[in-house]
Homo-oligomer: A and B are copies of this chain.
Amino acid sequence: MNGAGNPIDFYFEFSSPYGYIASQLADEFEKRVGRPLTWRPILLGPVFKHTGMAPLVEIPLKGAYSTHDFSRTARFHGVPYKHPEKFPIGTVAAMRAFYWTHDRDPRQARALAKALYRAFFAEGRDISAPATVIEIAGTVGIDTAALAAGLEDPALKERAKREVESAIANGVFGSPYFVVDGEAFWGVDRMPMAEEWIRTGGW
């Protein structure tokens, strides 16, 4: 099969419930398909500005459905979920901390992403403030003083911004969003289709 072993891009935003649920299913998914996932946090704000879309919960009818569906889908997948009191939130600090960590240790960046997601969607913590992000980073073994300094670095800000722009340039408009050898799959509920695509080589 073409593309065997190639990494799969996994785009997500830290304030996205479906991104969170996907992150909890990611390791098992990776094992089943036999390909590594490249975790790529983005910001949906600039995406929505580009597409004219609005945050799910702000859309009449669809918002009420979605709020109900977040926890229903989490339960369906056996993922702990407690809808955050303040939602959605800004996640630029979380995203920057991810890339800062990633450039030093990709595995640790993944651990940080999981810890941040868990804090926000399972433990009721608001992860918008840099101080909270840094504190959580400490719990997965990241050097908090170095991270705190790194978060102020204009080069990191620029790098994170380019990640978002590059995602938009690649057509990413939601979270989670997977790209398998150029083939895009949007949503937790498309993970089974992506898996079938990989298994069969496409159709």
Q: Write the residues of chain A forming the contact surface with B, with a CB cutoff of 8 angstroms.
A: 47, 50-54, 59-62, 64-65, 68, 72-73, 75-76, 168, 171-174, 184, 186-187, 189-190, 193, 196, 203
Contacts and interface: CB of A to CB of B under 8 A. Distances in A.
Contacts of A72: 203
Contact of A184 (B53, B65, B174, B187): B65
Contacts of A184: 65, 68
A173 B65 CA distance: 9
B65 A61 contact: no
Given A75-B203, A76-B196, A62 B54 contact: no
Contacts of A187: 189
Contact of A51 (B60, B76, B174): B60
A61 B54 contact: no
Contacts of A60: 50-52, 173
A65 B193 contact: no
Contact of A190 (B47, B68, B189): B189
Contacts of A75: 203
Counting chain B CB atoms within 10 Å of each CB, the highest count among A52, A62, A68 belongs to A62
Given A47-B61, A65-B184, 16 more contacts: A50-B60, A50-B61, A51-B59, A51-B62, A52-B60, A59-B173, A60-B173, A61-B171, A62-B173, A62-B174, A65-B173, A68-B184, A75-B203, A76-B193, A187-B189, A189-B190
A47 B62 CA distance: 11
A150 B66 CA distance: 39
A186 B187 CA distance: 13
A164 B59 CA distance: 19
A168 B60 CA distance: 10
